[in-house]
């Protein structure tokens, strides 16, 4: 038999070559493209500690100011001690050059609060280490809710004073790592003497251990905070039965009014979830606690809004979460099939496989022009729930009855 070593050696080299190829560096364009930094704008903020004609010290940073720097002083003047937000770009000198300086809080106002949660790693008198952060405790103003032990999860509320965190409140979030609270909610399906069934799960509800808020009853909605016991059972430590349940609504924003308090009142048309159910007008209150998600569209009249809200009255809501959507102009052509309408505030139809809402008196005009059927062109806007709100209709000649 002939020796196979040369062939095997060739295979070894081939394999090694492939391994080397696999370990190659990123393509050259990566490095080349990333070697030329642009003067990208950076965001820094902090207390204004000193200011000279061309150099300000803001928190931990020095920034250059010049004639091009814009100042936004709606909330106060840029005096020493004010809390500033600075948008700056890199400068050949190495010191950022301020493009925009915004006064966030005037001098004398409290500094922004920060709140964070981490494991208490060390507690040494007035100095605690929470996570990897040093926190100073000032007893006269400090509120400690359930004194934590080292190893427990704590939530710290603190003021930023330069690089120091001055604690205002420390709360034990989880005392025992093996006893992490579990939060769930659902309908109360059964209530026995010392255990309830909520959202399909049985939980022990001993009067001595469970705080009950609200008036529970079978069929009501309940929020349950429970601990998992060693035997796998759940022990409720808190049960809350809210008086009002949040609702989710698809709405068309018709007006946004600013209030003196900074809150807003939105007028909306609510489109119910049931097909061919007329929209109705409602008021939605929006405040600083409302999460207005503008990642898809900016808040303004004419936008679609998916609203999660607490009902205050049948046609008045306090918004919790709003997601905005830009409506789209659309043209639909097809055979018109008018549908019954509930309130007379408009009318419904199907055209070209789409559900059409004719607002106001438009259904009468449509009926008069088409007899309620025939080929029709609809110009309108596409809403987030799939409905086309008609703005104009054109019976197609020769097709209308």
Partner 1 sequence: MLQHRANGRWNRLAAVLALIAVAVVSRPAGSAADTQPSPWSTAAPIATGLAQAGLPTMAYTRDGMAHAVWESSGALYYAFQPPNRPWSTRVRVAAGLSPSMVIDANSELHVLFANQFNGNYEIYYIHRRGSTWFLPINVSHTSGRSGNPVLTLAGDGTLNAAWMDNTPGYWTIYHGAWSGVFWSSQPVPYARGQVPSMAAAPTGTIFLAWQDKVPTTANPSGEYDVLVSELTEGRWSLPLNVSDSPGVESLGVSVAATGDGVVHTTWVDQSQLIQYCYGRDIYWSHPQLVWSASSPAHAPRIIADAGSYLNIAWDQLETIWTTRERAMPAAWPKPDVVAAPVGSLRGVTMALLPASGVTIGWVQAVSPGGYGLYATWQATGLERRAWLPLLTR
**Interface with partner 1 in residues 195-214 (CB under 8 A):** none
Q: How many CB atoms lie within 10 A of CB 97?
A: 18
Among 84, 198, 253, 297, binds partner 1 (CB under 8 A): 297
309: nearest Cα among 331, 291, 333, 327: 291
Smaller CB distance to partner 1: residue 272 or 334?
272
**Would you give the end-to-end CA distance of the chain in angstroms?**
94
| Spatial distance between the Cα atoms of 61 and 86, rounded to a whole number of angstroms | 10
Six-digit token pair at 171? 């709360």
For residue 197, the cross-strand partners are 190, 202
Among 55, 57, 64, 100, binds partner 1 (CB under 8 A): 100
Six-digit token pair at 23? 């370990």
Among 106, 272, 359, 395, binds partner 1 (CB under 8 A): 272
Smaller CB distance to partner 1: residue 40 or 208?
40
| Spatial distance between the Cα atoms of 1 and 20, rounded to a whole number of angstroms | 33
| Spatial distance between the Cα atoms of 208 and 346, rounded to a whole number of angstroms | 57
Given the DSSP bridges, would you call strands 182-191 and 195-198 parallel, antiparallel or unpaired?
A: antiparallel
| Residue owning tokens 């119910």 | 272
Q: Kindly state the smallest distance separating residue 284's Cβ from partner 1, in Å.
A: 16
Among 192, 231, 243, 289, binds partner 1 (CB under 8 A): 289
Q: Is 67 in the site for partner 1 (CB under 8 A)?
A: no
Q: Tell me which residues in 324-383 interact with partner 1 (CB under 8 A).
A: 325-330, 353-355, 382-383
Q: Is 267 in the site for partner 1 (CB under 8 A)?
A: no
Backbone angles phi, psi at 105, to 5 degrees: -140, 135
Among 166, 264, 293, 316, binds partner 1 (CB under 8 A): 293
Q: Tell me which residues in 204-263 interact with partner 1 (CB under 8 A).
A: 223, 225-226, 228, 238, 240, 246, 248, 250
Q: Which stretch binds partner 1 (CB under 8 A): 179-187, 258-266, 364-372, 393-401?
A: 179-187
Q: Kindly state the smallest distance separating residue 92's Cβ from partner 1, in Å.
A: 15
Q: Kindly state the smallest distance separating residue 246's Cβ from partner 1, in Å.
A: 6
Separation of CA 72 from chain center: 27
Q: Tell me which residues in 112-141 interact with partner 1 (CB under 8 A).
A: 112-119, 131-133
């Amino acid at each position: 038999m002939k020796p196979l070593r040369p062939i095997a050696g060739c295979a070894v080299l081939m394999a090694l070559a492939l391994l080397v190829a696999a370990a190659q560096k990123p393509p050259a364009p990566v490095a080349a493209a990333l070697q030329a930094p642009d003067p990208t704008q950076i965001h820094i903020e902090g207390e204004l500690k000193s200011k000279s004609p061309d150099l300000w010290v803001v928190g931990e940073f020095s920034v250059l100011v010049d004639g091009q720097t814009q100042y936004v002083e709606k909330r106060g003047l840029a005096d020493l001690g004010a809390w500033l937000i600075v948008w700056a770009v890199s400068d050949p000198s190495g010191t950022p050059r301020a493009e925009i300086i915004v006064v966030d809080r005037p001098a004398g106002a409290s500094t922004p609060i920060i709140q964070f949660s981490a494991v208490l790693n060390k507690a040494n008198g007035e100095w605690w280490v929470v996570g990897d952060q040093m926190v100073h405790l000032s007893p006269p103003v400090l509120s400690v809710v359930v004194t934590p032990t080292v190893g427990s999860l704590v939530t710290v509320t603190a003021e930023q004073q330069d690089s120091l965190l001055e604690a205002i409140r420390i709360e034990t979030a989880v005392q025992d790592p093996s006893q992490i609270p579990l939060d769930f909610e659902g309908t109360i399906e059964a209530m026995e003497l010392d255990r309830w069934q909520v959202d399909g799960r049985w939980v022990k509800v001993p009067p001595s251990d469970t705080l009950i808020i609200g008036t529970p009853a079978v069929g009501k909605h309940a929020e349950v905070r429970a601990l998992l016991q060693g035997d796998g059972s759940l022990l409720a430590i808190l049960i809350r039965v809210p008086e009002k349940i949040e609702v989710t609504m698809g709405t068309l924003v018709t007006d946004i009014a600013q209030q003196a308090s900074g809150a807003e009142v939105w007028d909306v048309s609510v489109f119910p979830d049931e097909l061919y159910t007329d929209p109705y007008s409602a008021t939605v209150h929006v405040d600083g606690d409302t999460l207005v998600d503008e990642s898809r569209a900016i808040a303004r009249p004419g936008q679609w809004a998916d609203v999660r809200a607490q009902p205050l009255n049948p046609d008045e809501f306090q918004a919790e979460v709003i997601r905005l959507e830009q409506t789209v102009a659309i043209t639909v052509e097809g055979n018109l099939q008018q549908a019954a309408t509930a309130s007379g505030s408009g009318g419904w139809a199907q055209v070209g496989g789409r559900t059409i809402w004719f607002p106001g008196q438009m259904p009468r005009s449509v009926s008069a022009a088409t007899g309620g059927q025939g080929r029709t062109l609809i110009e309108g806007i596409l809403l987030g729930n799939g409905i086309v709100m008609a703005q104009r209709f054109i019976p197609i000649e020769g097709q209308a009855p």
